[in-house]
Amino acid sequence: MQIDLSGRVVLVTGAGRGIGRTIAEAFAGEGSTVVALDLDPGALAALEAESIADLALTCDITDPEQVRDAVATIEERYGRLDVLINNAGINAEGPLESFDPALWDTVFAVNVRGVLNTCQAAIPLMKKQGSGRIINAASFAAIIPSVDAAAYGASKAAVVQMTRVLASELGPWGITVNAYAPGMIPTAMNGFAALDEEAAATKLDQLSLRRWGLPEDVANLCLFLAGDLSSYITGALLDVSGGKFATQDPGAAWRAL
């Protein structure tokens, strides 16, 4: 059995850079028709120029009208949407006591409302087809949040619950809905790449596999969740974190070497 995703129409939000770009590349590599959404027109133009995206649309996922227009364009052009990957997300940090409420709303607008907007736009089309895959970017922060990251952790926990509810609501239409929880993948969103050796070692000590995650680690999981091999998996949160806190002190096994 092989993952065969050729000809599948796949929508990736936040495809302009980071993990989303790698997800788009992975699906293009499998022969899927990739539609890329992002805020950054320059990044989208590059995706089209490199033949990663068949269609690239500048779209703010917090705006339901822009999202509806994007899905209408997809329906008009391809007549279907097989896979929706809700990858776009933002982080904002600060202690909860003094956290700017407007910033709290912004985090939820992108990470939670954005997922609601894309799902509401895509579900009618998937129901018409009687098939579909929705794959949502949660985070390890939805399992164990970090200090100064309440807005992010709460928003990603909301994504997990939306995933579970949608999985049940859409089961009768043969649509699966899953979420994944990346651990630590150095991208422009975070400062992992800039940590000094000692700080990096402290972070890596949290991981059973003791290496930073790669965007490809997430993209590979998305390929699996989008394909026929995963057809009996729905409502799941899959941890793609290298075994983050699989035990209280994963680093102990490395120190014992």
Task: Give per-residue burial for 77-109: e unless 16+ CB within 10 Å, then b.
Answer: ebebbbbbbbbbbbbbeeeeeebeeeebeebbb
Q: How far is CA 17 from CA 40, 74, 105, in A?
A: 9, 21, 23
Site for ligand NAI in 208-247 (CB under 6 A): none
**Whether the Cβ atoms of residue 236 and residue 181 lie closer than 8 Å to each other:** no
Q: Which is nearer to ligand NAI, 173 or 245 (CB)?
A: 245
Q: What is the C-alpha to C-alpha distance for residues 76 and 147, in angstroms, rounded to an integer?
A: 45
Of 57-116, binders to ligand NAI (CB under 6 A) are 59-62, 87-90, 110, 114
Using rule CB under 6 A, residue 188 touches ligand NAI: yes
Q: Which of 8, 9, 11, 18 binds ligand NAI (CB under 6 A)?
A: 18
Among the listed ranges 47-55, 124-132, 163-171, 178-186, the one in contact with ligand NAI (CB under 6 A) is 178-186
Q: What is the DSSP letter of 111?
A: I
Assess whether 180 carries a catalytic annotation: no
- As beta bridge partners, residue 10 has 34, 83
Work out how close the CB of 43 gets to ligand NAI at its nearest, in angstroms, rounded to a whole number. 6
Q: Which residues pair with 13 in a beta bridge?
A: 37
Site for ligand NAI (CB under 6 A): which residue of 17, 113, 164, 203? 17
CB of 153 to ligand NAI, least distance (A): 10
Q: Where does residue 168 rank: exposed (0-12), middle (13-18), buried (19+ CB within 10 A)? A: exposed
Contacts of 159 (CB under 8 A, 6+ apart): 86, 111, 112, 115, 136, 137, 138, 142, 179
Give me the count of residues in the chain: 257
Residue of 10, 11, 12, 19 interacting with ligand NAI (CB under 6 A): 19
Which stretch, 17-25, 46-54, 167-175, 203-211, contacts ligand NAI (CB under 6 A)?
17-25
Closer CB to ligand NAI, residue 63 or residue 127?
Answer: 63
DSSP 8-state assignment for residue 50:
T
- As measured in angstroms, the least distance from the Cβ of 156 to ligand NAI is 7
Interaction site with ligand NAI (CB under 6 A): 13-14, 16-20, 37-40, 59-62, 87-90, 110, 114, 137, 139, 182, 184-185, 187-190
**Catalytic annotation, residues:** 152
